[in-house]
Amino acid sequence: MRGGGSVSRARVARRIAAGAAYGGGGIGLVGVAAVGLLLAEVQLAKRSVGGGIAPLPPRGDGLYGLAFGREDPLSLGVLGDSTAAGQGVRRAGQTPAALLASGLAAVAERPVDVCNVALAGARSDDLERQVTQLLSDTSRMPDICVIMIGANDVTHRMPPTESVRHLAGAVRRLRTAGAEVVVGTCPDLGTIEPVYQPLRWLARRASRQLAAAQTIVAVEQGARTVSLGDLLGPEFAENPREMFSMDNYHPSAEGYATAAMAMLPTLCAALGLWPETDHLDADRDEDMLPVAKAAATAAREAGTEVTGARAPWALLKHRRRRRIPQESPASTAHGTAEPSSTRATRG
């Protein structure tokens, strides 16, 4: 059941979003001292396993789904921080961009051309540069873009109104350029194992507040969102050693695969790769809610999609996850990529 707590969270998220729209900047997620302490704890957490050093993310740009040829590819742009870049894995095929491209290719039965401009360590104020870089090549204008951002905004004390203002601007530019946009909202920093209570609770609260505000501004600009939450599923809480990489901070290959399986159906829906329906499955806790309430609900339920309906309403959906196809290496004109060799199941 969704009670008063959800209403309160929705109000906070709406205040942050409104502050971004009207130029406010003073609405904080948690106290400055608490966030500063959280940042210190996160840095310690990143150093506590594997020396705090994750391998540099591999380049995942290139053409995927070569089993379907090279002509008329879909164009996928990926923007954001280290999670979008795929830091923590060693093979291009293990990055979110590669996994999502392979899944899209299998469903669309078309090749998918990936341009990943995400930067490890990026905050939302870097999105303007990333969008400019992505749109600079007019021969590769994106059909769909994925943005994954927010964790560094929390740990580096960026005011949430400023954070979501940058996100809204990025989504608006991409939508104006004709791209569909899916935003993976701020992950739950409370899942980082070496961060202890009460900072774990503060981290979770700050992450969810930002995620909800991100959802509001993204949906209002015509994007869809998927809540990354605790990195998309109870698997992370139950199997942290398998789901986190050696630095205990970024996802492992299995973690990214779990995230990609949850995001893929939303990308496919945005591109019209299977029929949309207005039917909401009550058994899956789907609903039509005011956008702020939908955002607050999604922020605490990992893997939840929010998409705009008639204003001020939004659809809250829990789509069935799609298993990502297996891949085999292939060289492409833009780099090393891996085409899908099987088809994803529909249904």
Q: Which of 250, 252, 318, 340 is catalytic?
A: 250
Q: Which residues contact 311 (CB under 8 A, 6 or more apart)?
A: 291
Catalytic residue of the set 6, 82, 227, 252: 82
Quote the strand ranges of 209-308, DSSP E: 224-226, 287-290, 305-308
Q: Is 341 a catalytic residue?
A: no
Cβ contacts of 41 within 8 Å, gap of 6 or more: 194, 195, 196, 199
The helix (run of H) or strand (run of E) holding residue 34 is: helix 32-48
In the residue annotation, 334 being an active-site residue is answered as: no
Using DSSP bridges, classify how beta strands 330-332 and 74-80 pair: parallel, antiparallel or unpaired.
Answer: unpaired
Locus of tokens 């899942």: 191
Q: Who's near 124: CB < 8 A, 6+ residues apart? A: 149, 150, 153, 158, 162, 163, 164, 166, 167, 170
**Active site annotation includes 250:** yes
Of 8, 15, 9, give the one whose Cα is nearest residue 160.
Answer: 15
Choose the catalytic residue: 227, 245, 247, 318: 247
Compute φ and ψ for 226, nearest 5 degrees: -130, 125
Q: Annotated catalytic sites, by residue?
A: 82, 247, 250
